[in-house]
């Protein structure tokens, strides 16, 4: 497994080694000891989530407030997504910036999104299956979001607006300027 820091250092691409032959392939998708050695801190993934999306489905931008803030390790089992992480940490030098990475079922790359980031993705293929680990349980009362097309953020979702399929919940999210940011510097 190779770990690659993105333009926001804390957001990390995890690139596994794929062993394939005529029978298929084998890949080690997660190895806690190596990942923690690279990050320099402990993780406690406690919940796995999975979603299936058709082409153009956009989910996000989602996050949870303290004490239910989550780190995520996102991977695509089948299909392709554009995965996006937005820094919402008060006092961070990259506050308001984002990272976009294509993840797909072929290269098996994963994206680690630490606590303090809003997260979303758009499906770039039919029947996309996304799985991700989180290090804190989901809590409905702490669930928050930011509108996907906020002009301040300037995220290029790679698809035209009329091709996107967005839930009522996500269409009604607030702007970045009205979001409840996360103050994790004191933790």
Domain limits, the chain: 2-178
Q: Convert the pLDDT of each residue in 113-164 to its tens digit.
A: 999 999 999 999 999 999 999 999 999 999 999 999 999 999 999 999 999 9
Has residue 14 got a pLDDT over 70? yes
Cite the active site residues.
62, 132
Q: Closest Cα to residue 115, out of 7, 43, 24, 20?
A: 43
CATH class given for the domain over 2-178 = mainly beta
Has residue 185 got a pLDDT over 80? no
* Lookup: tokens for 150: 């906020």
Q: Convert the pLDDT of each residue in 131-145 to its tens digit.
A: 999 999 999 999 999
The confidence band for 184, taking pLDDT boundaries of 50, 70 and 90, is confident
């Amino acid at each position: 497994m190779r770990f690659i820091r993105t333009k926001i250092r804390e957001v990390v691409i995890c690139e596994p080694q794929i062993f394939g032959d005529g029978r298929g392939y084998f890949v080690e998708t997660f190895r806690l000891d190596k990942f923690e050695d690279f990050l320099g801190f402990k993780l406690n993934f406690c919940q796995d989530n999975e979603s299936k999306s058709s082409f153009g489905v956009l989910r996000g931008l989602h996050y949870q407030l303290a004490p239910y803030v989550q780190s995520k390790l996102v991977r695509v089992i089948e299909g392709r997504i554009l995965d996006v992480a937005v820094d919402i940490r008060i006092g961070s030098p990259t506050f308001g910036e984002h990272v976009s990475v294509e993840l797909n079922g072929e290269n098996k790359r994963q994206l680690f999104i630490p606590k303090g980031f809003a997260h979303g993705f758009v499906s770039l293929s039919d029947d996309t299956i996304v799985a991700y680990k989180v290090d804190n349980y989901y809590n409905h009362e702490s669930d928050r979001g930011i509108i996907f097309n906020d002009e301040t953020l300037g995220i290029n979702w790679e698809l035209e607006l009329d091709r996107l399929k967005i839930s009522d919940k996500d269409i009604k999210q607030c702007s970045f300027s009205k979001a409840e940011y996360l103050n994790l510097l004191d933790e």
